[in-house]
Amino acid sequence: MLAILGSEVLSSEIQYVIALLGIFSLGILHGSNDLFVIENLNSNSQKPNFYKSLFTYLGVVLSFVAVFYFIPIFALAAFVIISSYHFGEQHFHHKLQNTQSLWSSLFFLFYGLFVLFLLLSLNSNEVILIVEDMTGLLIANQFLIIVLFTSALGSIGLFVFLSKTNPKLKASLFPNVIYLILFTALFAVSNVVWGFATYFVLWHSLPSLKDQVNSLYGTFNFKNFLSYFKKAFPYWLASIIGMLVVVWLFKDSKNFLSLLFAFIAAITFPHVFIMRKLFDKN
């Protein structure tokens, strides 16, 4: 509700500042500790394994950056699919008994696509310009609407199907309907950055941080969060510096929002698979 009110009373400039602060702080932080998560997932981890993980992680990120540069439409499509799955997984993994089943995976994907394309469809003018700047491709508004309705139908159908064997999922129907109503209201009155930042930080990054702290330290409290932050800080700082370098290198050829979403895509790609391993372990 505060985010909806903020979109009405705050100027666009202030909204951008707050949104970017949220993305660059908690948003980036929740994916900055991936190497530490890998280290703890491998109980026999030693230094050589850490360095191997480090170079593999950097290699994946840089490879995705390269794909975004040379084949942007492919990279954008991959980012949308993978991040949508990850959004759905983060939101519902506690509600399903078997998160590795095909039906669970499809549900995660369809729900994530639904929320993401709800934002994109309600901000279609901005989104079309961003996609054109990133890829050179002019997408039609009808495409956004088709994906939105297809993912909505898929989400509803799979929710009903999975609720038969997952009582926690069935019990979550009412709050999730309220969430979707609030998302719709927020996305309808906000710009794409404010809407994305609100969802990405409050509904995705914070729950993900809590899951990671619980897994790494046993329980979520301020002391354990501080320990997590200290571990993540060097990687978070490196991510911020990396983003600044990317902006400086391409400032004359790309829009800042295009660079921002491309950068988030690059660091999201390995993070999704690491969190998949974390959820499987738990």
Domain parsing of the chain, residue ranges: 2-37+47-281
Q: From CA 87, how far away is CA 95, in angstroms rounded?
A: 14
Work out the mean pLDDT of the chain and round it to a whole number: 84
Higher-confidence residue of 98 and 281: namely 98
Query: What's the confidence (pLDDT) of residue 117?
Result: 96
Confidence at residue 1, expressed as pLDDT on a 0 to 100 scale: 66
Distances (CA, A) of 49 to 118, 215, 235: 41, 20, 17
Residue 217 contacts residue 37 (beta carbons within 8 Å)? no
The amino acid sitting at 95 is: K
CA pseudo-torsion sign 249, 255, 256, 258 = negative
pLDDT score at 10: 83
**pLDDT reading at 168 higher than 70:** yes
Give the model's pLDDT for residue 149: 97
Give the mean model confidence (pLDDT) for residues 154-160. Answer: 97
Q: How far apart are CA 145 and CA 139, in angstroms?
A: 11
Which among 29-33, 57-61, 157-161 has the top mean pLDDT? 157-161
d(CA 109, CA 103): 10
Report the length, in residues, of the chain: 282
Any idea which of 81-85, 102-106, 180-184 has the lowest mean pLDDT? Answer: 81-85
**Per-residue pLDDT tens digits for 203-247:** 888 998 898 888 888 899 999 999 888 888 877 887 788 777 777
Whether the full predicted model's pTM is greater than 0.75, yes or no, is yes
Q: pLDDT by residue (tens digit) across 112-155?
A: 999 999 999 999 999 998 888 878 889 999 999 999 999 999 99
pLDDT at 280 over 80: no
4 CB-near residues (< 8 Å, 6+ apart)? 182, 185, 186, 189, 190
Q: Which two tokens stand for residue 175?
A: 């709050």
